[in-house]
Structure 1
Amino acid sequence: MKMSRPKTLSRYFPLAVFLCLASAVLGVSWFLSHNQTAAIRNEANLIGQQTAGQLEDHIANHLSIIEHIRNLWMKGQINNHDAYVETVESLQLQFSGFQAINWVNPEGVIQWVAPVAGNGPALGANLAEHPIAGELMERTLRSNRDMATRPVMLLQGGKGFTTFYPLIRDGRLEGYLNGVFRVESLMTEALAQVARSDYRITIRDGEHALYSRGTASGDDAFTTTHSVKLLNRTWDLSLTPGPDSIAAQSMNADKIVLVLGLLLSIGLAYLLRLVTLRQEALWAAEESYSGLFENATEGIYRSLPDGTCIGCNPAMVKLNGFTRESELLTAVSSESNSWYVDAGRREEFFRLINRDGRIDNFISEVHRLSDGQRIWVSENAYVIRDEDGEVLGYQGTVMDITERRRANEILRREREFVVAMLDTAEALICVIDMDGQVVRFNKACERLSGYSLSEVIGRPVYDFVIPDQDHDSLKNMLSSLRMGVYPNTHLNYWTCRKGGQRLIEWSNTALRDESGKVAYCVAIGIDVTERKQAEEDLQLAKEEAESANRAKSEFLANMSHELRTPLNAVIGFAEILENQMFGEMGDSRYGDYARDIRTSATHLLGIINNILDLSKVEAGRLELIDAPTDVADVLSSCLNIVKAMTHANEVSFRIEADADLPYLMTDERMLRQILLNILSNALKFTPAGGRITVTLKNEPEKDAYRIIIADTGIGMTAENITKALTPFGQVESSLSRKYDGTGLGLPLSRSLIELHGGRLKIESEPEKGTEVTLHFPGNRIVQRKSLREDTSQANSA
């Protein structure tokens, strides 16, 4: 867009600004005398944003020069060394931040430098061999993107940075435009009119320091950091207000503002005078800035005093849905009053800009002129005047903020949703800062404690709900959050307003501030007072039951001892009678009766022995006598005993065993009793023609040794499995009548294997059979080789 050059701004304009500013200072001084100190951080943040924006615009202006030179190169208007030097030097006069703009040939050698003076050391340098510049040129060529380096030491001396713009025409690389910037000169010019002199400004490119101005010793808590974009790099600009700035807002602010404000007004008036003089030079260089204008991402326009648009950039055309500037200008001329959805916003715009000379962040809903669609925009504009103060027109920028407003609206709704969830949740939700002061207190907390949010907000919880004995535990929990240990849980009591205490179980996590520091504790709690009391009552009942069970076991153990003595005598006398040791009895029926007496007494003795062993296990009085045991041998002897039982010859037996099985460290008597009990049960419940399979498996990968006894008997339900494992438990009555038994075999077997650190598992299905697995842990496995070595060492000893 071509703009006509305005008349020189009025020399009286700075005086008018001074009078306006002086009046404003007097008003602000009066206002501050009746109010608290202004928020220092907000001012620092605003100045930081302005500083970052000024610096980013200043660098963009410099880069537009290089872009303009590249455009001239591509058009063929620069085709020799003299034309290059003349063009670059004429454009560089506008900015002092340039050290040089070099042409680097495709091989990476600096072929031309401009200006020539002061840049001799760079001429002929091979940047392709430079570790930073060489790598960046390769990336620039691969991506066909303009890029900048991190801070480097320049070939001409001093700190700076460089940019590379690839020159590619018709797919052929013709070299690079290499912009060389000296940091000190660039920053001095860019930041001359930005922050107060006592502000410390530091700029870093990642881990690399780029620039520092000022030695302010102000509080770092007021430091603000802002991003500055430079091609492919992002700088971090940090700004810290100095003691004077802080004192100006915190001590005698009205007097200090009065004095400093008047001085600042004079300074600004002087600066504005300088700006008016510089404005003429800026308009003279308008052609140099046309590239920047055309490539800006924000819409830029210029209008007449009546608001008629006379020119705009491509971004403004695109924002309104057109493809050509002429289309937009035609639409504006015919619909000049339809831009704003609310016609009153147009009047407000002109009122503010004519009153203040500029307008910032003027937010309105407007019509997209191509299709009438409504969008939200933010306008920044200023008045263009001649030297006599007459309004020549307005120039401004327009940014589409529709998506940003939509995102803000979504965020607002989400916040309302979160607040509603907090207040409707049944759980206690409390947010406190690291000093224990309440930040959030939901309705459930209010109901339990008896305190309302308005009463507790900002108060330390130690003052009203946390009893003295729980202060330290809460402080320890907050310390753990600071160290990054979260989420975590803890218990503490709450003292209620109406009296009494409730035990709360909390789950805690942390929220961090923008600096990454833990700032808040979010605690979600439930009232476990009744549950805790129930647990204590349950534990007491459990202990009482265990005590009664131990007394029962001891009683049974003692009674079993008392019963075994007379039974042994009955068995002995029955054997004497059965064997007619003192002569024949005459009638054979006496022998049959004696045999029946011995059989019954032996059976009763077995029951008593089982009761005695089970009672010893429950009473903790049965001790293991461990020794290396050959399980196969023990199993073989047990099978011989079982095969002698009733109908054993009608059931087939099968043994499956791994080769070279290791020994087990067991109590052989107990192992034999376990196997006999389970084999007897299998035989008892397996009908004629059935099969019993015994499998011995060493499973080193599972660190286990298993004995599996499976039968094809009648099986049982899951409910009956539970009954069968209960001492004296009986399965269904029909089975108990058909198959006699005491119900002690399986419970005793499980107790004995658990005494070995193993477990007993039963899987069964009615009419299909039962499988019992004895699982011994790996630490009871003894390899045969190890056993032989131990025996050899023992014998040699």
Structure 2
Amino acid sequence: MNITAREFKTSGADMISPSEAVDNSRYNREFGLFDSVFHEVSDAILIISAGDQSTPSYIEDINHQFELFTGYSLEDVRGTDLSTYFADHIPESKIESITRALESRQSAIFYCHWKCRNGDVIDVNMTVRPISSDDECPRFICVLRESRSEKNDRDEAAREIKQKLLAAMHHNFRTPLNGILGYSEVIMTEMLGPIGKDSYREYAKDIHGAGQNLLFLIDNLLDLKELETTEFELCESMFDLSDLVDDCLSAMTEPAAKKDITLKKCVAKGLPLIHGDRERLEKVIYSLLENSLKFTPAGGTICLCASREKDGTCQITCQDSGSGMTAQQVAKAFSHDSHLADIYSNPTTGIGFGLAYVKKLIEKHDGTVSIASSPESGTTVYVHLPAERLV
């Protein structure tokens, strides 16, 4: 609530006693705690003054979540009647039952349509309860929560919009990108004749490399779209895991050299072939290497290993000497709502999957993913594929 603690003078007739000072200190602490909770909770909250016979009830204060939820600021609603924001008429019988509940100092819950500042009308459940015993100016706290059916509809609409956006990006970006890749390759290989200076050839190589990275990102976007729908299917074949590891390490050689990071490989001899989606597993391994590269300092190491375990399963590990993660970050790493940039990614660079999507791809192969990490001690990601995937 926007109330300032009263000031206490320390001279003359207004001198306060030690006991009063203790009470004031306790009041300030309790008020500070209330103010923090009031503005940090996830529910939209209003403070209502009931007024009297000559003055209708009015809004005294709102919290930050109310501003986000409805679009109204405190300046917009302070001093206004609560009923102003109801989109339809509330029956008198309902108002009477709410009034009786409040007069007996009980909570009242009712459903209404709430008008937002942008003109939208949302379905809310409102909980009202008294918070003061001042008969001359009683106050009430009102908590607004969007009804679950309304929230589900909004979430579904948001998912649909995201799917359409990802599909449009994949189609509209890939067409001009193919042109960039094609023409840069023509220049890079001097297909139509020598281009003269070596620097031009290097520029073409950089353009082609950047284009390939962008194409990888666009393909990842399509995979993200498919992973969230029932359309996603594996394109399975038999392939050599050792060759796949070599391809991923080769792709990371240049960026690792630029950061003075050593790449190591530890692949057991005589590994059987893997039956799975080679392209998707390549993205998984590449993403793990890329994430390790971002958090490994100059002079560090990244080791990619593959082996067959005693129980017949296949284990792939990516171990780095980077900054590591806290236990809380590890716990959140596979959350669908947790973006990799929040816990295990550089927010300014990179095209890798989030660990949540890495986990989904591995689970599509009937496998598992786990993490071992601690701050300043590096991170190891373990990928296990079942014995049935080994041929």
- Alpha carbons of structure 1 residues 635 and 732: separation in structure 2 relative to 1, 3 Å: closer
Give the alignment partner of residue 214 of structure 2, picking from 591, 600, 604.
604
State the 1:544 CA deviation. 4.9
Deviation digits for residues 13-57 of structure 1 (CA, Å, limit 9, x no counterpart)? xxxxxxxxxxxxxxxxxxxxxxxxxxxxxxxxxxxxxxxxxxxxx
Question: Hey, what's the Cα distance between the residues in 2 that align with 1:550 and 1:562?
Answer: 18
One-letter amino acid of the structure 1 residue matched with residue 342 of structure 2:
V
State the 1:770 CA deviation. 0.4
1:781 and 2:373 correspond: no
3-state SS of the aligned residue for 2:162? helix
Question: Hey, what's the Cα distance between the residues in 2 that align with 1:776 and 1:729?
Answer: 23
Matches within 5 A, 1:430-509: none
One-letter amino acid of the structure 2 residue matched with residue 613 of structure 1:
D
State the 1:704 CA deviation. 4.7
Give the alignment partner of residue 762 of structure 1, picking from 355, 371, 374.
371
TM-score by length of structure 1 reads 0.27
Report % sequence identity. 32
3-state SS of the aligned residue for 2:350? coil
- Alpha carbons of structure 1 residues 639 and 570: separation in structure 2 relative to 1, 3 Å: closer
1:624 matched residue in structure 2: 234
- Alpha carbons of structure 1 residues 624 and 733: separation in structure 2 relative to 1, 3 Å: closer
Deviation digits for residues 705-741 of structure 1 (CA, Å, limit 9, x no counterpart)? 432222212213345553686575423799545xx22
1:672 and 2:276 correspond: no
Deviation digits for residues 308-364 of structure 1 (CA, Å, limit 9, x no counterpart)? xxxxxxxxxxxxxxxxxxxxxxxxxxxxxxxxxxxxxxxxxxxxxxxxxxxxxxxxx
2:362 matched residue in structure 1: 753
Higher strand share: 1
Give the alignment partner of residue 341 of structure 2, picking from 730, 745, 759.
730
2:245 matched residue in structure 1: 635
One-letter amino acid of the structure 2 residue matched with residue 753 of structure 1:
I
Question: Hey, what's the Cα distance between the residues in 1 that align with 2:276 and 2:199?
Answer: 45
TM-score by length of structure 2 reads 0.52
State the 1:588 CA deviation. 5.6
State the 1:542 CA deviation. 4.1
State the 1:651 CA deviation. 1.2
Question: Hey, what's the Cα distance between the residues in 1 that align with 2:270 and 2:212?
Answer: 38
One-letter amino acid of the structure 1 residue matched with residue 246 of structure 2:
S
Question: Hey, what's the Cα distance between the residues in 2 that align with 1:636 and 1:699?
Answer: 20
CA RMSD of the aligned region, Å? 4.0
Question: Hey, what's the Cα distance between the residues in 2 that align with 1:742 and 1:675?
Answer: 13
3-state SS of the aligned residue for 1:775? strand
Give the alignment partner of residue 561 of structure 1, picking from 153, 166, 171.
171
- Alpha carbons of structure 1 residues 698 and 750: separation in structure 2 relative to 1, 3 Å: same
Greater CA radius of gyration, 1 or 2?
Answer: 1
Question: Hey, what's the Cα distance between the residues in 1 that align with 2:359 and 2:219?
Answer: 16
Q: Contact 1:613 / 1:748 at 8 angstroms: preserved in 2? A: no
Question: Hey, what's the Cα distance between the residues in 1 that align with 2:218 and 2:186?
Answer: 23
Deviation digits for residues 551-584 of structure 1 (CA, Å, limit 9, x no counterpart)? 4124312321121011110221222233443344
Question: Hey, what's the Cα distance between the residues in 1 that align with 2:201 and 2:270?
Answer: 49
- Alpha carbons of structure 1 residues 598 and 623: separation in structure 2 relative to 1, 3 Å: same
Deviation digits for residues 217-259 of structure 1 (CA, Å, limit 9, x no counterpart)? xxxxxxxxxxxxxxxxxxxxxxxxxxxxxxxxxxxxxxxxxxx
Matches within 5 A, 1:150-229: none
3-state SS of the aligned residue for 2:231? coil
State the 1:653 CA deviation. 1.2
- Alpha carbons of structure 1 residues 727 and 601: separation in structure 2 relative to 1, 3 Å: farther
One-letter amino acid of the structure 2 residue matched with residue 768 of structure 1:
S
Q: Contact 2:291 / 2:344 at 8 angstroms: preserved in 1? A: no
Deviation digits for residues 498-523 of structure 1 (CA, Å, limit 9, x no counterpart)? xxxxxxxxxxxxxxxxxxxxxxxxxx
3-state SS of the aligned residue for 1:565? helix
Question: Hey, what's the Cα distance between the residues in 2 that align with 1:633 and 1:734?
Answer: 27
Matches within 5 A, 1:18-57: none
Q: Contact 1:654 / 1:691 at 8 angstroms: preserved in 2? A: no
Unmatched runs of 5 consecutive residues or more in structure 2: 1-109, 111-124, 126-146
2:187 matched residue in structure 1: 577
Q: Contact 1:610 / 1:745 at 8 angstroms: preserved in 2? A: no
3-state SS of the aligned residue for 1:647? helix
Aligned length: 249
Question: Hey, what's the Cα distance between the residues in 2 that align with 1:664 and 1:692?
Answer: 23
Q: Contact 2:216 / 2:351 at 8 angstroms: preserved in 1? A: no
User: Whose RCO is larger (CA < 8 A, sep 6+)?
Assistant: 2
- Alpha carbons of structure 1 residues 680 and 591: separation in structure 2 relative to 1, 3 Å: same
State the 1:662 CA deviation. 4.5
One-letter amino acid of the structure 1 residue matched with residue 366 of structure 2:
G
1:693 and 2:285 correspond: no
Q: Contact 1:647 / 1:688 at 8 angstroms: preserved in 2? A: no
1:615 and 2:225 correspond: yes
- Alpha carbons of structure 1 residues 551 and 620: separation in structure 2 relative to 1, 3 Å: farther
Matches within 5 A, 1:36-115: none
- Alpha carbons of structure 1 residues 554 and 581: separation in structure 2 relative to 1, 3 Å: same
State the 1:617 CA deviation. 1.5
One-letter amino acid of the structure 2 residue matched with residue 552 of structure 1:
K
1:772 matched residue in structure 2: 381
Unmatched runs of 5 consecutive residues or more in structure 1: 1-529, 785-797
Q: Contact 1:550 / 1:618 at 8 angstroms: preserved in 2? A: no
- Alpha carbons of structure 1 residues 571 and 728: separation in structure 2 relative to 1, 3 Å: farther
Question: Hey, what's the Cα distance between the residues in 2 that align with 1:640 and 1:685?
Answer: 19
1:545 and 2:155 correspond: yes
Question: Hey, what's the Cα distance between the residues in 1 that align with 2:300 and 2:294?
Answer: 11
Q: Contact 2:166 / 2:222 at 8 angstroms: preserved in 1? A: yes
State the 1:743 CA deviation. 5.6
**Deviation beyond 6 Å, 4+ runs, structure 1:** none
1:713 matched residue in structure 2: 322
